[in-house]
Structure formats: C-alpha cells, structure tokens
Amino acid sequence: MEFDSQQNTEPVEYTWDSQDSGFQESQQSQQQPEYWGRLYPMRSSLRKIDLVNNSVKVGVARFKKIDDHLEVGADVVLERSDLPTNTFLKCSRVHFEIRRVEVRVLGVHTTQVRIFDRSTNGTYINGHCMKRWSDALKWRVLKTNDVIGFPDGKSVPNYDAFIFIDPLVSISSQIPYSIRKKYQVTVRLGAGTFGEVSLVFDKENGKPCAMKTILKDTFVNNRMLNSLQKKLVNELDILQSVKHPNVIQLVDVLDCKKEHFLVLEYMEGKDLEHRLERARQNNEQLEEKLSKLYFYQILQGVQYLHRQGIIHRDLKPANILLASDQKETILKITDFGLSKVLSPATMMKTLCGTKMFLAPEVIEGAGSYEYTEQVDVWSMGVILYLCLSGVEPFYTDTGNVDELIREAVFDLDSTDWNNTSEDAKAVINRMLTKDPNERIRVREIYQMLWLQDEEMIEKANELYSVLDSSNSSSSTMTVDSTFSCSVEEDSLAGFPSPPSKKRRTL
C-alpha cells in the first residue's frame, strides 16, 4: 500500500457570505468527482474511502491462504488500530462489498449502489443487521446517509463506522452553497436552543464535525442585526482562540443570509447526560473512580475558561461531551459563550440554563445583578452529585425545586451514597454552599484530599497524550484497480494555552 503525504497548513478562516443563494451554484463548473461514492468515517481512527472501482470490498485481510495459493481478500484493509478490539475480532476477511451496478427501471438504464454482506457476524445498516434478513436477500440498495456498522457485542450491538455518500445526489437547496461546497452535510444529530445540529464532513480531509445552525430570527428585530453582527464576529473570534483538551474546539464559522453556521469538533461518545441515563437504565451508577476522572477533566476545562475570562453559566451533563464510547475517555465542555452573542441583554444578567443546575444566587437574583464564576462551581457540584449517586440533588415530589436550591438543601446520607467515600462528599458539600463568597473556588478544589490521587491524574495525562497524538494525523484512502491508496495528512495543533486576557463574561 503506497501513500503520498501532504501537510495541510492552511489556517481556518471565517467565511462571511451574507448574500448566499442557490444561484451561485449554477455558475460553478459542474465537474464530475473522481469517485462515484464515498464512505465518510464516523470514528477518528478511520479514514474516508473514495469508491472508484465498480466493486470495493472492505475487511480485515488482503489475502487468505487456501491450500497452496493466496485468495484475494479485501481491497480496503482495516487494521487493529482502526477498530475496538472486540469489534475487530468479529470482523471478517471480507466483511462487506459495495457495488455499482447497471439496472433497468421502467425501461430506462441507470446505476444503483448495492451493499453485500460477506461477513460471518453481520454487517449493520442504520443499526439493523443484514444477517437477520431473509437468506434470499444478501444485499440491499445503499443510499446517501446510510450508516454502515460492524458487530460490537456489548450493550450496543453494532459499531457505527461509515456514512455512505453518493456525490451525485443533490443536497437540499435550503443549505447554502458555501456550506455544501466545503462540507458534506449528513444526518441530524439533534436540536439546540437556537437551531439544529448536524453531522458534517470536511470534503477535503474527511474529518467529521458537528455543525450548529443559529437562525438569525433568534434576534429580536432587524434593527439589532448590524450591532449584533459585529458583536458576533468579536465573540466568535475569542471562542475560536480557545484551545484546551477539555474544551470543545470551534473550527469554522460561516455567515449566510438566514443563518450562522458554527462548525465544531465532533465527539463520538455523545454527552454525559446520555452516559448517565444509560447507567440509570441498567440500574447502575458510575464508579467513584470513574466519576473522579470525569470531574477532574471538567474542573480542568472550567479553570481554563475562567482564566480566559469566560464564565460558562450553563454547565450541565448535556453540555459535557465524551470523545469515545470507552469508559475512560476525554471529556469536553461545549456551548459556552453563545448566550451573550445572541441575547439583547448581557449574558450574566440573563436567567437561563437548566434550573436543576442553577446556583442559588441565580434563582434568587432572577437576573437583577451580575454573577461571578462561582455559579460554575455550583453547577459542577450538581454534576458531581449526579455522577456519584445517579440521582438529582434537588428532586422533590412537591415541585418546589427553587426553594431547595435557594437554601442548598440536599441529602448525602441516603442509600445512594453507601459506596461513596467521605472525601468525595466533602467536595460536594464545599461546592454546594449557598453563599457564593463562602463557596469553594476552583483553584481550591484541587487541594481537596479527594483529588490528591496520583493514579487518576496519571490516567488523565495518558488520555491527554493519546488525544494529542491522534490529532497529529488523519488520512484519506482512495481505492483504485491496483488497490493502492493516496493519503493526505492533516496536522492539528496541540493544546497551547493562549495568553491571559482581561476577564470577560460571555
């Protein structure tokens, strides 16, 4: 397998395209792509695969010795480092094959893309195993945005690996051309306060990203647009300068006629809320050791943001993203800073966020005065409480949550806390202190006995080093008739700390 490496050193730039329209696309040259299909990777360990031949086989072995001769196996070979061990061991020499075939539909000749399951343990399409279908149907039509997965065997039976894209299938014209030109927009990941979040892929390097759409009608009136536009550019410039392994990276910003598009790094492991919900469904709770590893990373990210003058103010499990499905993984804080950009009032005087995670001074003040970074300390305390016990600290059947929060009334003596150390409870008590002036500060949390854990810190540093090395390269695979591949190396910066800025409350 031969590779041609080329460093990508172009800086990320803003694209301000306020007059974006479909007319621009009609003026572009309609060149056919060199490939008829592409598999975009949903995992950072995988690479995009350009489908050039009419048949491409994907598996874990190029050749297999049968008697005295070698039988050709996969055209695209996945290595052990590409997949989790449990998944790799369940993959076949040729796991699946993708073919482009000519068919006749209503008397008209056309092409059709089909996927054939060649495996022992099954190929998954959109979460459904092909092996469970009728034996007479060994293939199915492959359509744009279909997700191809391998067997996993854990609580989740399949491991989503690739999304298939047919480049000749037009994307909705509602998506501006400046977006379609640079990114392959695929499935919807969810919806936020200001718009949808979609999974997109950089067409140049194949990297998955999460694209957040912010509708401009979120602004109160058109009169405010000009001043807020300048404010948006300024604030997003600050957010884009943020670089830390526990803070989500804003990689691109595009401004179109009706929306702002923010492109963020994609996290494969979903969010902490999903992780806690999965444990709850299994009648489990996170081990204290794992909760400590998670909390330490959240603390690292919050401390970094505070040093840059950024107060999050909406910390909650849904805003803590996980890098992978593994238990021990990197956590990153997201959704910081946008409220100030989009609100007509200053962020720190706006009552928002999920009530369960709001500090007493926020509930009490109802937006009448400015809050300090101590509101983030309180929210982290609630998150830690959830991780260690699996239950919310201020839950009540009467619905009077506000009163419980204002008085900082919570329980650390129920059976939910039987397996939790007193040192961990001491951290929660210091963080969930009613008076923000008496509440422990971020820098002091590190001095608590519970966090004096060399083994945990060593594990966190190990995760950071793995993240740093994985960010140093990714590749693009193109299959041709000789099975050779060309690779483009994409180098990302590590995690340098920007110089301290004057305190800002975003």
DSSP per-residue codes, 366-397: TTSS---THHHHHHHHHHHHHHHHSS-TT--T
Distances in Å between the alpha carbon of 263 and those of 105, 167, 248, 485?
A: 40, 21, 11, 29
- Known catalytic residue: 17? no
Tokens representing 418 are: 């039987």
499: helix, coil or strand? coil
> Which element (helix H / strand E) includes 339?
helix 338-342
Count Cβ atoms below 10 Å from residue 407 Cβ, excluding itself.
11
Of 169, 341, 347, 343, give the one whose Cα is nearest residue 255: 341
Among the residues of 57-164, which ranges form H helices?
85-88
* Residue type for position 135: D
Is 216 annotated as ligand-binding?
yes
Q: One of 75, 117, 314, 490 is an active-site residue; which one?
A: 314
Q: Would you say 347 and 504 are in contact if contact means Cβ atoms under 8 Å apart?
A: no
Cα–Cα distance for residue pair 201/161, rounded to 1 Å = 14
Query: Which letter does DSSP use for residue 37 in this model?
Result: E
- Dihedral, CA atoms, 320, 321, 325, 329, nearest 10 degrees? -70
- The predicted pLDDT at position 5 comes to 34
> Which element (helix H / strand E) includes 336?
none
* β partners of residue 38: 50, 165
230: helix, coil or strand? helix
Tokens representing 296 are: 């330490």
Would you say the pTM of this structure is higher than 0.95?
no
Cα–Cα distance for residue pair 404/364, rounded to 1 Å = 12
Per-residue pLDDT tens digits of the chain, which is 506 residues long: 333 333 333 333 333 344 444 434 444 444 556 889 999 999 988 999 999 999 999 999 877 666 666 667 899 999 999 998 889 999 999 999 999 998 887 778 888 999 999 998 999 999 888 876 555 567 899 999 999 999 986 666 788 999 999 887 766 667 888 888 899 988 888 766 556 788 999 998 889 999 988 776 655 455 555 555 655 666 677 677 889 999 999 888 888 877 788 899 999 998 999 999 988 888 888 999 999 999 999 999 999 999 988 888 889 999 999 999 889 999 999 887 555 544 434 344 444 456 889 999 988 876 556 778 999 999 999 999 999 999 999 987 776 888 899 999 999 999 889 999 999 999 999 999 999 999 999 999 999 999 999 999 999 999 998 877 666 544 444 343 333 232 233 322 333 333 333 333 33
Please provide residue 364's backbone torsions phi and psi, each rounded to the nearest 5 degrees: -70, -45
- The predicted pLDDT at position 431 comes to 98
Kind of pairing, strands 128-129 and 158-165?
Answer: unpaired
- The predicted pLDDT at position 342 comes to 42
Counting beta carbons within 10 angstroms of the beta carbon of residue 420, is it exposed (0 to 12), middle (13 to 18) or buried (19 or more)? middle
* β partners of residue 165: 38
What's the distance, Cα to Cα, between the start and end of the chain in Å? 49
Tokens representing 158 are: 């399949």
- The predicted pLDDT at position 317 comes to 95
Cα–Cα distance for residue pair 190/269, rounded to 1 Å = 14
DSSP per-residue codes, 274-323: HHHHHHHHTT----HHHHHHHHHHHHHHHHHHHHTT-------GGGEEES
Kind of pairing, strands 259-265 and 331-333?
Answer: unpaired
* Domains of the chain, CATH where assigned: 37-165 (2.60.200.20), 173-266 (3.30.200.20), 268-470 (1.10.510.10)
